[in-house]
Structure 1
């Protein structure tokens, strides 16, 4: 049984149901580096759910990273509330390039949305970084 101090990871867990501290928490709060672009993408989704702009900036490629990034803290009235993540696929194009397709569900100001993205990642100095993506957002 999971307790409030050991909640399941917002990304859904790897494997499914893994607590945050043993899943994305290893990357966000610990010193481990995601071994795959998919794990990085999952940790970035988790950072969005927790309002952690600093982690998102640190894992964004400097060539495409925005100067400022505002992320709603959890439980912000009328802010974005992330509801779930589904990975459609992950493929490594070569040793240093990968793509991840996912759908993230969220609610904002009482309205539900689905964001589907094909994200591109680049590995530099042994670390995966988010580069950009093709987004399809629907309500």
Structure 2
């Protein structure tokens, strides 16, 4: 199965190791793994990769949304030696009401060797 993040790699070689607990090397890789988690319905990973300061208590995913495409538009910092980074993306979905997209610039921090999603605008 190809990875939902559209890296071109199989899921087992791309986002699945991160979903199983491996640290993301960059903020962009964490963003891609979070998109894949939305596409696969993995709420536990979404909570685990969300920074504790902004993590929602419950996380309910909309089962009627099908996330099918991720475009990374811009990255700012977020490399292996950075402590923070930003990733601008557009994620596309289909629902019973039709198609749509979410355009966001997400903020990430790296703590203890792990990247975490903080928030997005």
Q: Which segments of 5 or more consecutive residues in structure 1 lack a partner in the other structure?
A: 1-6, 135-139
| 1:110, distance to aligned residue in structure 2 (A) | 3.4
Is 1:48–2:38 an aligned residue pair?
A: yes
Structure 2 equivalent of residue 26 of structure 1: 17
4+ residue runs of structure 1 moved beyond 4 angstroms? none
Offset from partner CA, 1:63-99 (integer Å, 9 cap, x none): 1110000114xxx4xx101120000011117821100
SS at match of 2:12: helix
Q: How does 1:1-139 map to 2 (within 5 A)?
A: 7-13=1-7, 17-29=8-20, 31-72=21-62, 76=63, 79-92=64-77, 95-134=82-121
TM-score by length of structure 2 reads: 0.93
Structure of higher CA gyration radius: 1
| Aligned residues: CA RMSD | 1.4
Aligned residues: 119
Higher RCO structure, 1 or 2 (CA under 8 Å, sep 6+): 2
Q: Which segments of 5 or more consecutive residues in structure 2 lack a partner in the other structure?
A: none
